[in-house]
């Protein structure tokens, strides 16, 4: 590759990185208010809070053979176990989650989503899907497929980065990608 083509690629990469960064900022600002979750809560369970939706999401994403536990909720939400336990207790009191004894270890409790919790999750997914369908209605099937795959890959990459750098000083974690790419 010539210096000229390398420079063109670097400029294109910089432009793409700037667009991604800007879009991430705009998305964060829009989602900070949690409009979708609030709509779903208002329709199905007005007594619930946004953090309750986060717990439900974490519990619903635990894949067998793993079991949803307080520890899994704490890890998935990146909060301490005592806070996770309090939120779970609120959901149990609201009949959204149920605690059961783990059959393989009676000292452990596993979390199970109740019928009411499933209804809430279904409503949340319907609201989100409606928004996504509205925003992407003019996209071709190929564009939608490509975006879904790339977006999933991007989010997984961020999750992996966070997991790899958990517990590091923030400056070290932020500098890690630069150090890897420089090598």
**pLDDT tens digit string along 65-107?**
788 999 999 999 989 999 999 999 999 999 999 999 988 888 8
- 84 CB-contact burial (10 Å; exposed 0-12 / middle 13-18 / buried 19+): buried
Residues 89, 99 contacting (CB under 8 angstroms)? no
**Residue 181: per-residue pLDDT:** 45
| Tally of CB atoms within 10 A around 37 | 21
pTM: 0.66
Q: Which two tokens stand for residue 168?
A: 């590091």
**Residue 65: per-residue pLDDT:** 78
Of 56, 64, 123, 126, nearest to 87 (Cα)? Answer: 56
The Cα-based distances of 11 to 5, 163, 182 in angstroms read 10, 30, 17
Low-confidence stretches of the chain (pLDDT < 70) are: 1-9, 168-183
The Cα-based distances of 145 to 113, 126, 162 in angstroms read 30, 19, 26
Residue 99 phi, psi (nearest 5): -95, 135
């Amino acid at each position: 590759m010539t210096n000229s083509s390398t420079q063109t690629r670097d400029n294109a990469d910089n432009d793409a990185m700037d667009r991604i960064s800007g879009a991430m900022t705009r998305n964060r600002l829009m989602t900070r208010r949690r409009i979708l979750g609030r709509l779903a809560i208002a329709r199905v369970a007005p007594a619930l809070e946004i953090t309750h939706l986060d717990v439900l999401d974490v519990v619903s994403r635990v894949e067998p053979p793993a079991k949803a536990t307080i520890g899994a909720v704490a890890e998935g939400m990146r909060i301490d176990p005592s806070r996770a336990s309090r939120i779970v207790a609120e959901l149990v009191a609201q009949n959204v989650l149920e605690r059961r004894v783990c059959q393989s270890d009676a000292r452990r409790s596993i979390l199970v989503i109740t019928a009411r919790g499933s209804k809430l999750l279904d409503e949340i997914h319907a609201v989100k899907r409606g928004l996504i369908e509205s925003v992407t209605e003019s996209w071709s099937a190929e564009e939608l497929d490509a975006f879904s795959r790339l977006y999933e890959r991007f989010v997984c990459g961020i999750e992996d980065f966070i997991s790899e750098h958990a517990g590091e000083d923030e400056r070290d974690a932020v500098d890690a990608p630069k150090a890897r790419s420089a090598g």
